[in-house]
Structure 1
Amino acid sequence: MNEGLRESLGVFDYKNGMIQADSLIKGNMKLIRYYPIYSGAPSHLELYDLEADIAESIDISGNPKHAGLIAEMTEELISIGPCPKDQEEFSIYMDAHDLGFNTTCRFFSKKPHRCSKFLEGELFCNSICGRHDKVCFPEKYVNKGGSWRRRR
């Protein structure tokens, strides 16, 4: 593999602030996950072998031999997408002092204002600091007259 070349490419399709579909191309394989309107859970997925089917006309996701590949590609899609899973433990570094400490997402949940001070909150604690709250947790919102409002 050539150094510097990406191994995969993720694409995220939004409409009215909600995710409609996402996809990942890795090697010659392409995984597409479609979402129903106003839902945070994929409704179905498709897998294509772009080397054999550039037109994406033969969905091979139903073939059991691709189950492991689908799981692997789905995990990668989640990790690079707007809704990554929270990490168990990570390090935070203070800029000028080059000091650091290990922490968990409880560091942010106890005081959410810390999210704006530490990039690590956005990167590692999506459930607390994630800026894509409406996309990642649509059950917290309701669409009234074309605008999204947080449920009470």
Structure 2
Amino acid sequence: MQYKKKAFSGIGFILAIFMFGIALFITMEYYHIFTTKESVDIDVSRALNISVDLAMQDIDWIQHNSVMDTTKAEKEFKSYLINDMGLNSNYEKYDSNGEFLYQIIIDETKIQRTPAKFKVSGRIRMKPVTVRSVLPETFDVPFSEESKNTRYDD
């Protein structure tokens, strides 16, 4: 009597489920990284644009010149990060349970008085979500944003 060989063994099934699980965890982690980076990019871009608009000097603005008070722009940018984004003084974001979400590390700031321009580049430091208990390390994702220059001439 001959036994028929199964087309798909139990070990193969377990291996397929294991591979699917790994792919699922990797996909979830990349989705978390992507959404966090996009959220921070949008907020930093908004902070730059608002700080440039608030730091524009009114007399020059009326005369259609793009001249900015750089000290005020930097102050308004930092104020937006802390007050509106909810970051602490080290630019760290925590959830309602006190769990670390991310930190914005600013490596380079370029402010130009005229024409008004503000550029910031740095890193977003975050922890993995799906494997946080297994891999408690942080990792950095680079970002670079600059203010959108608004034309003030006719």
TM-score class, shorter-chain normalisation, is under 0.3
Q: Which has the larger strand fraction?
A: 1
Higher relative contact order (CA 8 A, sep 6+): 2
The two structures have a TM-score, normalised by structure 1, of 0.28
The two structures have a TM-score, normalised by structure 2, of 0.27
The higher radius of gyration belongs to: 2
